[in-house]
Copies of this chain bind each other. A is one copy, B any other.
Amino acid sequence: MVPHLTTSLTGPLQELERLVLDRRPEIERWFREQWQEHLVPFYSSVDLRNSGFKLAPVDTNLFPGGFNNLNPDFLPLCVHAAMSAVQRVCPDARGFLIVPENHTRNLHYLQNVAVLKRIVEDAGYTVRIGSLIPDLQAPMEVQTSAGETVRLEPVRRQGDRVGVEGFDPCAVLLNNDLSAGIPSILRGIEQPVVPPVQAGWSTRRKSHHFHVYDRVADDFAKLVGIDPWFINPHFSQCGKVNFAEKEGEECLASNVEHVLAEVREKYAQYGITETPFAIVKADAGTYGMGIMTVKSADDVRNLNRKTRNKMAVIKEGQPVNEVIIQEGVYTFESVDGAVAEPVVYMIDQFVVGGFYRVHTGRGTDENLNSPGAQYAPLAFETDCHSPDCGGKPGDPPNRFYTYGVVARLAALAAAVEVEELVAAADAPEVQAANA
């Protein structure tokens, strides 16, 4: 089941795919060099948008929660990749503690936890699940959407180590994006935590990620000889916004205008006749919360109460004060007539699968990560490391290889971003402030 592109597939994207396929050895060599310099994230997922003329990452998740949506045929790829990933973290030991989100009613998310547990187990580790649910006193068994049982156990701390009753893991695998802040039970522990706690949304910013991505995309564009705009959405940011109090509206409006002007210029340059749009979203947000589509600066002036409320508060009740204004990338992909966007999953340096996020109630210029989204797990008919170079650009294996390349660029940006976050947290003035 491969979703067809409704775009006619002529013009720049085909050109991009042809270039990517032609330069595959150089590209893979370049990635190898990058992964020697930067620690690859344990895992990541990247939302891509393919407008036919542009293929770009729009969100990079360091705590991917959709392993249940992957094609089960590709789980062996996940296991092999996890063997590489865990070996970096715990070469000598054998126990892993997965710390998931606190959701106990999102049965699909719980199935994600079950699949993730199985992947790490199949990589040869004992795995227990340590929950941060407040007031959880004893182990709790919950049923997943697939009818499996997940056992959540309260995380316990002893000195500088964490674990669960009778289990002292060698490392902690976070599948919790720490939107509510870094929990004290995980601060200053001696076990490695992957991804590091600084990669959580209490410290991470989308704008930081895309600043780093600018550099990665520029380097890559130089390597293959393209305009980096074909793989990189413009963006801008506002640091002091309060939707509830109508503060920062002018900053928003002028930055929307700025981003749209840049996009208009590029559309003119390449003869693209679509209407430019931008996405306004919380700079620290996730779960598709706090996101709106705008087509002019006026769209962010005089927001109605409903929209302001929607934008003001996101996951875990965190207020939105920082906002990123990102060039909107149309998605011209569809699955069974519904608007779709690809999500690519990586473990270690490997693309391990992907799926389409499909939304019947949304347009090609809207965020699809919202209530009502469905997932098409079988969509990737081929893995992303095996292009058929004899085939035409646009054939599924080639399209998906290109998707894998762009997703890995975003993962590389995330690697540099996390290095910078960890370095900042280790700086003496920060340590003093946290003491």
Could you tell me which residues of chain A, from 48 to 96, have a CB within 8 Å of some CB in chain B? 73-77, 79-81, 83-84, 87, 91-95
What residue of chain B has the Cβ atom nearest to residue A125's Cβ? B25
How long is the Cα–Cα vector from A28 to B91 in the complex, in angstroms? 10
Interchain CB contact under 8 A, A124 and B29: yes
How long is the Cα–Cα vector from A81 to B264 in the complex, in angstroms? 45
Interchain CB contact under 8 A, B124 and A87: no
Interchain CB contact under 8 A, B73 and A28: no
Chain B neighbourhood of A80, CB < 8 A: 77, 80-81, 350, 385
Chain B neighbourhood of A118, CB < 8 A: 386
A79 in contact with B29 given A24-B124, A91-B36 (CB within 8 Å): no
Chain B neighbourhood of A349, CB < 8 A: 83
How long is the Cα–Cα vector from A75 to B387 in the complex, in angstroms? 12
Question: How would you classify the secondary structure of chain A's contact residues: helix, strand, loop or mixed?
Answer: helix
Chain B neighbourhood of A123, CB < 8 A: 28, 385
Chain B neighbourhood of A386, CB < 8 A: 75-76, 79, 118, 122
How far in angstroms is the closest Cβ of chain B from A378? 14
A369 within 8 A of B: no
How long is the Cα–Cα vector from A350 to B84 in the complex, in angstroms? 10
Chain B neighbourhood of A389, CB < 8 A: 121
| Partner of A385 from B31, B76, B92, B385 at Cβ < 8 Å | B76
A336 within 8 A of B: no
What residue of chain B has the Cβ atom nearest to residue A24's Cβ? B124
Q: How many copies does the complex hold?
A: 2
A274 within 8 A of B: no
Interface 1/0s, chain A 122-133, versus B by CB < 8 A? 111110000000
What residue of chain B has the Cβ atom nearest to residue A36's Cβ? B91
Interchain CB contact under 8 A, B29 and A93: yes
What residue of chain B has the Cβ atom nearest to residue A81's Cβ? B80
Interchain CB contact under 8 A, B94 and A125: no
Could you tell me which residues of chain A, from 25 to 42, have a CB within 8 Å of some CB in chain B? 25-29, 31-33, 36
What residue of chain B has the Cβ atom nearest to residue A84's Cβ? B84
A383 within 8 A of B: yes
Could you tell me which residues of chain A, from 92 to 131, have a CB within 8 Å of some CB in chain B? 92-95, 118, 121-126
| Partner of A74 from B76, B121, B122 at Cβ < 8 Å | B76
Interface 1/0s, chain A 143-173, versus B by CB < 8 A? 0000000000000000000000000000000
How long is the Cα–Cα vector from A333 to B389 in the complex, in angstroms? 40
A25 in contact with B76 given A83-B350, A87-B32, A91-B36 (CB within 8 Å): no
How far in angstroms is the closest Cβ of chain B from A82? 9
How long is the Cα–Cα vector from A349 to B33 in the complex, in angstroms? 22
Interchain CB contact under 8 A, A385 and B79: yes
How far in angstroms is the closest Cβ of chain B from A389? 8
How far in angstroms is the closest Cβ of chain B from A405? 10
Q: Please name 20 further chain A to chain B contacts, defined as beta carbons within 8 Å, in addition to the given A29-B92, A83-B350, A121-B389, sorted by A numbering.
A: A25-B121, A25-B126, A28-B123, A29-B94, A31-B124, A32-B87, A32-B91, A33-B92, A76-B383, A76-B386, A79-B383, A79-B385, A79-B386, A80-B80, A80-B81, A80-B350, A83-B349, A83-B385, A122-B385, A122-B387
